[in-house]
Structure 1
């Protein structure tokens, strides 16, 4: 199976052939996946070199001319390093585009903390009007990328990862999916966390919602699940900073007595990098750790 990032290059290259309004802007990373597209569309596949602020600035400039720019690099270089440009060149200018990141929270541990971005979605959450997609499978990444490319002038962030679920789900870029139903409470599994959550909650009487579009947050789905349960207790399992969606969940349930437990990546930097499985275990996000934390929250 191809990775989400490989699927992105394939799909974006095809979209360039079909839609003359689209342009892809790169900052050296990911160029090899667009060699053929660059030959076909040299004026719409641009590599600005290792200049991430320029990457975003060029994307904003293309959007001002009426183009639909797709920007791509690692999340730490796409969101964190040029955040001022994201805020001003898209938000302040009132234009849209598609930011597609790779690397996630710790996809490449050997790259060190410079190539990790567990706070990217929380940082994007400080800005107004951004849709945020977090696919959990390459097929979902393709569906959400196509949705983002066709989304008029909307501002969209697509977070790709090497971590994937075994099977794809029918995502629509809007709603949470109900994967399992129960009475003790609700667990929201974001993107690539779904398989671990399903394993962790096997035999527990809980509802599992699957979220691949986290902004806007599907408060209606959470309210419906909480209303059908015996208690409005919610666990959020996110592949980025712990508690990123806690405020959104609290707002959705503001008229209902509730408890929310956020599980995700802690703020402490892990300096023994290991591999992705080691990071999941160290963060308490492997299935065994999730089992204990979720069951404990719901009373065993």
Structure 2
């Protein structure tokens, strides 16, 4: 079990995750002759050099998101490794049937990379918001979901998955943590909470997913809880979760996600089926439909996903 370091000076301000994704594409195409990039207008304006250096390998299908995924499926059937990109609401929700059939049912691989996350593009209205994207992808068999929280994680994930063959969803967000973490698919203990309860594993555990880590750390700074983190919520590191929780006494756990509340609840319940547990899932509430544009910060506060909102939910778990 590894423990991440969260002390010491923060590194220089990193690129945002989406910019890092665009910067990675040119060297990826150099390194992997079988990789193609498929776009639906969004992103093309950031890639003039990449398009010029790799003619025919950056394919813009226009504002046709269903065709975006279908073209990727055809490329994969032909032995290519497509990296497919647009906003999450268009890539997952609008083209969900094509994701299900042209990739999943055909049993071919691709790397889907979204931007916009739950409400990063709040000024675009509800059409550009997709808090349910991870739940939708997780409902399909054979997918891995990465939710990086730092630009360096984006680079590492892309380089690894470009060389792979599986079906992968990478969710990019405007929110980010100050420091990168390991993207090995595992849960990592970030803070042990201190005291005897932390030493014997009985202190409540708060699991932060992706870019929620810094918010969770701020929310729980003076609370008697342990904090763990992962950038890969699906499939869940069930062995790591069980190792972090006691096997012989009741368990308290909070899972904090930047997407739909309760996503992954089934996997958590299955992992702890033989243990008495009290679990709270913190995310974008399914019953909340905000009809004002606002800013991403205002949306986070309204959904209870700022530090104050997360703290209220963790305090309720403790109390």
Superposed, which structure 2 residues align to 1:145-156 within 5 Å?
Answer: 145-151=158-164, 153-156=165-168
Aligned position for 1:166: 178
Taking structure 1 as the reference length, what is the TM-score of the superposition? 0.96
How far residue 184 of structure 1 moved from its aligned partner, in angstroms, is 2.2
Greater shift, 249-258 or 142-151, is seen at 142-151
| Number of the residue aligned with 2:316 | 296
Question: Do 2:32 and 2:163's aligned partners in 1 also have CA atoms closer than 8 Å?
Answer: no
How many Å separate the matches in 1 of 2:116 and 2:159?
Answer: 20
Aligned pairs (5 A) from 1:192-203 = 192-203=211-222
Name structure 2 gaps, 5 residues minimum. 1-13, 193-197
What's the RMSD between the two structures over aligned residues? 1.3
In the alignment, structure 1 residue 179 sits paired with structure 2 residue 179? no
Deviation at 1:141, TM superposition (A): 1.3
Instruction: Look up the match of 1:74.
Output: 87
1:50 counterpart = 2:63? yes
Deviation of the 1:12 alpha carbon: 1.7
1:1-300 residue pairs with structure 2 within 5 A? 1-151=14-164, 153-172=165-184, 174-181=185-192, 182=198, 183-227=202-246, 231-267=250-286, 268-299=288-319
Conservation of the 8 A alpha-carbon contact between 2:250 and 2:275:
no
Q: Kindly state the Cα deviation for residue 230 of structure 1 after the two structures are TM-superposed.
A: 5.9
Separation (CA, whole Å) in 2 of partners of 1:281 and 1:61: 42
Report the 3-state secondary structure (helix = DSSP H, G, I; strand = E; otherwise coil) of the residue aligned with 1:215: coil
Query: Hey, which bits of structure 1, 4+ residues long, moved more than 3 A?
Result: 228-231
User: d(CA) in 1 for partners of 2:154 and 2:249?
Assistant: 34
In structure 2, the residue corresponding to 1:88 is in which secondary structure? helix
d(CA) in 2 for partners of 1:34, 1:23: 13
CA contact (8 A) 2:32 2:162 kept: no
- Per the alignment, in what secondary structure is the counterpart of residue 242 of structure 2? helix
Please report how far the alpha carbon of residue 229 of structure 1 lies from its aligned counterpart in structure 2 after TM superposition. 9.3
1:73-128 per-position Cα deviation (integer Å, ceiling 9, x unaligned): 00000000010000000111010010000000000111000000000000111100
TM-superposition CA deviations, 1:196-234 (whole Å, max 9, x none) = 101111122222110101111011111111127964111
Contact 2:138–2:145, Cα closer than 8 Å, also in 1: no
Gaps of 5+ in 1: none
